[in-house]
Amino acid sequence: LASAAAFAWAIGDWTTHAVFAAPPQQVVDTGSAIYYLSGGSLFSYDKKTEESYSFTTSNKLSAPTATGIFYDPEGKILIVAYSTGNIDMIHTDTGRVVNLSDIADSPVASPLTINDVAFAGDRIYVATSFGLVEFSASRQEVVQSGIYSTPVSAVTVVGSDLVVWVDGSIRSVPCGERFPSLSYFR
C-alpha cells in the first residue's frame, strides 16, 4: 500500500494524454527525432530513447492548435505556425522554445494565416495571407516585412534569391534586399 501511495497524484494535478489522429498532417525528420503534426497537435519521437513527447501549452507551446511545421536543418530550428499568426521557434538541439508573436500582434487585418516558411542562414522568411515577413533567428525579431494585401502562397530560397508565389506567378528578389512592396520583386 505504501508503494501505491508513492505514485498517487496530488489534488489539482493533471495528466495530459496525447490524442493522435492518423494520418499525421506533416512529418519532419531532424536526424535525432521525428516531429509530427496531427489534429493540430505537435508530437516528437526520440529515435535514441524511443520516447514520444506531446507538446502542449502547459509544457512548451504558446498556442493550442498548430497549423504547420517547418524545419531548418542548418540552424536546427523547427518553426511551429498557428492560425492566429503566432509562431514558436523550437531549437531541436536544446529543446528551447522561443515565441515569435510579431505577426499575431500586428495590426494587420485578419486572417493572419502562415502559408509557408523558408530559411537562409540566420533568416526565416514567412509567407502569410497578407504578405511576407523576414525574421532574424539569432535576434528573434522581425528584420523587415512587406504588407501586400494579397497572399504570398509559397516562399523558398534558390541560390541567392528569395522566390515567392503570389497571384499565380513566381517572383524573386535577391536575398538581403528590401521587399516593402511587390514592385521590388522581378
Q: Mind listing the pLDDT tens digit for each residue in 51-62?
A: 999 999 999 999
Asked if residues 161 and 173 have their Cβ atoms less than 8 Å apart, the reply is yes
Give CB contacts under 8 A, 24+ apart, made by 146-152: 146/179, 146/180, 146/181, 146/182, 146/184, 147/108, 148/181, 148/182, 150/182, 151/113, 151/115, 151/127, 152/115, 152/116, 152/127, 152/128
Please give the average per-residue pLDDT across 82-108, as a whole number.
Answer: 95
Residue 18 has a pLDDT of 58
Task: Please tell me the predicted confidence (pLDDT) of residue 19.
Answer: 61
| Closest to 131 in 3D by CA, of 156, 166, 100 | 166
Q: In whole angstroms, what is the distance from residue 82 CA to residue 161 CA?
A: 27
Q: Report the Cα–Cα distance between both ends of the chain, in Å, rounded.
A: 74
Q: Output the CA torsion sign for 59, 63, 68, 73.
A: negative
What does pTM read for this prediction?
0.88
What mean pLDDT comes out for the span 24-30? 94
Express each pLDDT in 118-156 by its tens digit: 999 999 999 999 999 999 999 999 999 999 989 999 999
- Residues 168-180: pLDDT tens digits? 999 999 999 999 9
Report the mean per-residue pLDDT for the chain.
Answer: 91
Gyration radius from the chain CA atoms: 19
